[in-house]
Amino acid sequence: MLQQLTQTESKKQPSGLRQPPFSLACARLAFKRRGGELMCRSHELFVLAQQHIPGGVNSPVRAFKAVGGEPIFFERGEGPYLIDVDGRRYVDYVGGWGPFIVGHAHPRVLRAVTETAAKGLGFGAPTVLETSMAEKICKLMPSIQKVRMVNSGTEATMSAIRLARGFTGREKIVKFEGCYHGHVDALLVKAGSGALTMGVPTSPGIPEAIASATLTLSYNDPQQVREVFARYGEDIAAVIVEPVAGNMNCVLPIPGFLDCLRQVCDEYGSLLIFDEVMTGFRVALDGAQGRYGVRPDLTTLGKVIGGGLPVGAFGGRADILDRIAPDGPIYQAGTLSGNPVAMAAGLATLEIVEQAGFHEALSNTTRQLVDGMLERAKAAGIGMTANYAGGMFGLFFGHTSRVDTYAQVLASDQALFRRFFRGMLRRGIYLAPSAFEAGFVSSAHTTAQLQQTWGAAEQVFRELSAD
């Protein structure tokens, strides 16, 4: 049987480093359970990747360090599904970490990409698509009067911080525990996301002088915000916050928290920056700022506006953006910024997202998913609670009431989450491989995928309660 399997798969897979052939050793691996999951070509590819890529991955959370085992190598995506290199199909709740709000390989997005790519991959010069994207963003997010395209969320937050400091003439920045704003030196202090997963909230390599200019406060603690501003307010250039924190799982702002940030920034002449790289166009058409009715001075965007291609943007009040070069003295530049293919993918995605009823349907699907999971956890006697907003959600094991703070997130039962993650993965449900990452639902998810997910969860919860 091993020989037959080897021969069959060898015919399917081309040789070469990019797609190694199915070897006899790999065939044997297919009959050896690795953490309960049958692994084969993913294992071979991971071994190869580790020879040339640090940790075998290009972003730390992908390494499965937090959940055990090895990462899965995927070959393609179809709507709500991912298919790995061994042909296994998974219901996907990672969504490329947020951008695939309309599902994988949406025909309209693919058509826009291929038609644009056929004309050239980039020119290092202005294109109409850049202006169309800027117009679309400014139309959908009224707080943004002008916007500059960049290539990643990290680049967007880095540029927004520089702009805020240059505009105010101040140096200090306020951020919040568990909020991740990319791997920017000034912001990688008690960060969330991969930094929490890897157990390194503050990374080596960041000069003390830079870290000392960052004041890190507790998310959802307006009293602490007021106290810090009373002491340092005249020196604070900006407050940067994830209005819905998606990098310490999914934590929603308590009533009045975002309003407090707006009030103290107005009082002390500081700028309020909403990092909507994750929440932009996902929790509502006008982002979290529209959902919660708080208008920031600057907004950073990413993910959805690139339709899955590398992209970022920062925008806001015109008088602030006019200080950016070439109109002003604050320098920012990027060779690939506003890449036409990325703009085409993003515009096609936004045209789908802005259709009437899109977010109501997305939010309803997310609510059904979460309610069904909670119902089955409770029936099995598993302590779990959940948060959700629009197309984002988070599951918290070891809690039975709402999770609002970084400390509560850290107190979650991570060991139980790891077992849950592996059990779901074995049953074809792909969740973020970390207890500190939000999950994502797309418009391609239907009742069929929800029922598959609930069925898998019911089995896993039963296993967990029996131990």
CA–CA distance, 363 with 250 (Å, rounded to integer): 14
Rounded to the nearest 10 degrees, the angle between the axes of helix 358-379 and helix 340-353 is 80
Strand order across the 172-176 sheet: 146-150, 312-316, 298-302, 271-275, 236-241, 172-176, 214-217
The catalytic residue among 221, 275, 297, 404 is 275
- Alpha carbon dihedral 302, 305, 309, 313, in 10-degree steps, equals -40
Burial class of 105 by CB neighbour count within 10 A (0 to 12, 13 to 18, 19+) = middle
The answer to whether the beta carbons of residues 246 and 392 sit under 8 Å apart is yes
146 is catalytic: no
Distance of CA 148 to the CA centre of its chain: 21
CA–CA distance, 80 with 444 (Å, rounded to integer): 5
The catalytic residue among 93, 172, 303, 388 is 303
For 330, the token pair is: 């604050």
Residue reference for tokens 């298919």: 83
292 is catalytic: no
Q: Which residues make Cβ contacts (< 8 Å) with residue 448, sequence separation at least 6?
A: none
CA–CA distance, 309 with 127 (Å, rounded to integer): 17
The answer to whether the beta carbons of residues 464 and 423 sit under 8 Å apart is yes
Going through 93-235 in order, the beta strands assigned E by DSSP cover 146-150, 172-176, 214-217
CA–CA distance, 3 with 80 (Å, rounded to integer): 34
The answer to whether the beta carbons of residues 71 and 62 sit under 8 Å apart is yes
81 is catalytic: no
The catalytic residue among 90, 180, 219, 388 is 180
At residue 463, φ and ψ (nearest 5 deg) are -65, -45
Residue reference for tokens 């069904």: 372
- List residues bridging with 241 in a β-sheet: 274
Residues with a catalytic annotation lie at: 180, 275, 303
